Structure 1
Amino acid sequence: MSEATEKVDPGHTVGRYRLVRRLGRGGFGEVFLGETEDGARAAIKLLHASWSRDQDMRRRFAAEVEQARSVSGFCVAEILDADAEADQPWIASEYIDGPTLQQAVSTGGPRAGGDLLRLAVSTATALAAIHASGVVHRDLKPDNIMLAPDGPRVIDFGIARALESTSVTASGIVGTVGYMAPEQLEGMRVGTPVDVFSWGAVMVFAATGREAFPGPSQAARIARVLGGEPDTGDLSGALLATVLACLDKDPEARPDARTLLGHLVAGTAPLRAAPTGSGPHEAVDPAEPQGRMGGAGEGPRHSSVLPPAGQGFSPVPHTPP
């Protein structure tokens, strides 16, 4: 690619990858299936040319890529390569040949029993690894959990932080209504507890096939997240209690990811919030202004939190070409 304005289509080469086909697109960029000369596959995410001209975006993207590389590969899509200095910055991650959790539940129905517990443990393991590296996902949802043949993988971790910290979010914040924590919806500075809240909402969807905070409109769904109770359907027993703890309105009352994982695996760890200072409750970008999230240190309030249509990467089934 010679210019940031050049349209990228299958057949182009990005780094050592030939773009085979488009997997998804959104307001920030596009995702392609890429292949090397020896047949190795990767999911290639490229920023749109318009965002590529934003120098602050490029700087934060580069910093976020390096941070994402540090995440241990437990139940997450491994970062394989990246170039933040390209005309259009890109990142290559492990290609997951399988459906998203959203697609699997929509077509095959809710999960139950050991299948549901394995999903809970795998995704909690991914969060623990992500948080241990100082990364906050910020958009954990069923579409960002891929069901690979050898187990679930969490995708798109960390990159949302680079996007959220720039001016491109002046009209909205990164996240998905129904899976965003109350403090995230209110535009407050957020940390790892938002991912734990999202995990709880994801488990409700996995177990019931429905959102934890349903409503006839986005405004109604937001209001329910902020002040109402979740609809947990037939979810019961120890997992219900765990999910409800994660969906607490108070971020300080939620368990951290390590406590959550220990409870799921052993059933003996106390399910309560970590004492102040004992865990990575907030991953802070030293270059980011203190205060509310947003490009200028002020995040959007409740009335303006709806993300622009099509914003973010929208994965589609990873099926062979």
Structure 2
Amino acid sequence: MQALDPGDPRSVETSGRPYRLLARLGSGGMGTVYLGRSAAGRAVAIKIVHPEFAADERFRERFRREAELSATVGGGFTAPVVDAAPDAPAPWLATAFLPSVPLRDAVRTSGALPPAAVRYLAAGVAEALAEIHGAGIVHRDLTPANVLLTADGPRVIDFGIARALDAATITNSETPLGAPGFMSPEQAAGDPIGPSSDVFTLGATLMYASTGREPFGTGTWHEQVLRLRSERPRLDRVPDEELRALIAECMDRDPSRRPTAARLVDRLGAEPVAWPPAIAGEIDRAREGGRAPAGR
């Protein structure tokens, strides 16, 4: 959590409902996320999209549709959508604020997670995907940056570039979206994708959590995509045999052979475990930040 930059907005509003922006939570390829507070004092995470997207009417149409669809996703392992303004000069989406640490940051700071924590992570993310897919959505960008570790378990966020299964006419379906180290082979090739693509990226995310390394190495976007399309992940780096087998199934190059998210939920059923102490401490600090007075 960081202080607002001089050029950051101080508030957003829709239909007479104002939200005051208090701090920056992070920034990504699609927008910047802020800690906000409603007039009634509810803490929310508000993603404001970058100007280059706001100027694209096709994007606005997709954003509007996906905001509506995201609001239908239930379950305990996602961040509920509470408000959105697709027609604002800079479109934004508000979700419940979750005191948390992104999996990406947790691994960068504290290293790979222990096997029991990875199994707990796998169960929660699989349940989130089952809810998302049940609503007719493919996430398309399931990465360690979009998985939050909270005191109550993992949460999947950012359906900003998710695409409804029946919305192929809204944008060019041949455009590959997502992080190159965490795309499925079919997504990298620009082929049509479905829920099984998210299962592949779940496997890649679990491999990152288990090893502290991206499945297809580092480098430029094109270098990573080339490895994704021509090489297999180094599963021998995963220290736990059971997790290694699970990740291998999820990352099968043939989408038809991957398990569904619902099957993974039935199979995993992990008991809650405590995150490593360093991560738990970061979550506590995020909780205190969310409680900061609105006049901060």
**TM-score, length-scaled by structure 2:** 0.80
Structure 1 counterpart SS, 2:137:
coil
Partner of 1:238: 242
Q: C-alpha deviations, 1:153-187, integer Å up to 9, x for none?
A: 111025443899766999x6320111101000001
Q: Which has the higher contact order (CA 8 A, sep 6+)?
A: 1
Within 5 Å, give how 1:1-321 maps onto structure 2.
9-15=8-14, 16-157=18-159, 159-161=161-163, 173-214=176-217, 217-232=220-235, 233-265=237-269, 320=289
* Amino acid in the other structure paired with 1:230: P
Paired AA for residue 264 in structure 1: L
Question: Any idea what SS the aligned residue of 1:178 has?
Answer: helix
Query: Which structure features the higher share of helix residues?
Result: 2
Q: Name the amino acid aligned to 2:24.
A: R
Of stretches 72-81 and 24-33 in structure 1, the one that deviates more from structure 2 is: 24-33
**Amino acid aligned to 1:114:** A
Instruction: List alignment gaps of at least 5 residues for structure 1.
Output: 1-6, 267-316
1:30 to partner: Cα distance: 2.3
Greater share of residues in strand: 2
Contact 1:65 1:159 in 2 (8 A): no
Q: Give the length in aligned residue pairs.
A: 264
Unpaired segments ≥5 residues, structure 2: 1-5, 271-284
In structure 2, relative to structure 1, the CA distance for the partners of 1:49 and 1:113 (3 Å cut) is closer
Q: CA 1:204–1:60 in 2, change beyond 3 Å: closer, same or farther?
A: same
Which deviates more, 117-126 or 212-221?
212-221
> Mean alpha-carbon deviation: is it higher for 187-196 or for 46-55?
46-55
Tell me, in whole angstroms, the C-alpha distance in 1 between the residues paired with 2:65 and 2:203.
Answer: 29
What is the aligned partner in structure 2 of residue 298 from structure 1? none
The one-letter code sitting in structure 1 at the alignment partner of 2:54 is S
1:65-90 CA distances to partner (integer Å, 9 max, x unpaired)? 11111111321111011122323322
Whole-angstrom CA distance in 1 between matches of 2:23 and 2:169: 30
Following superposition, the deviation at residue 130 of structure 1 comes to 0.7
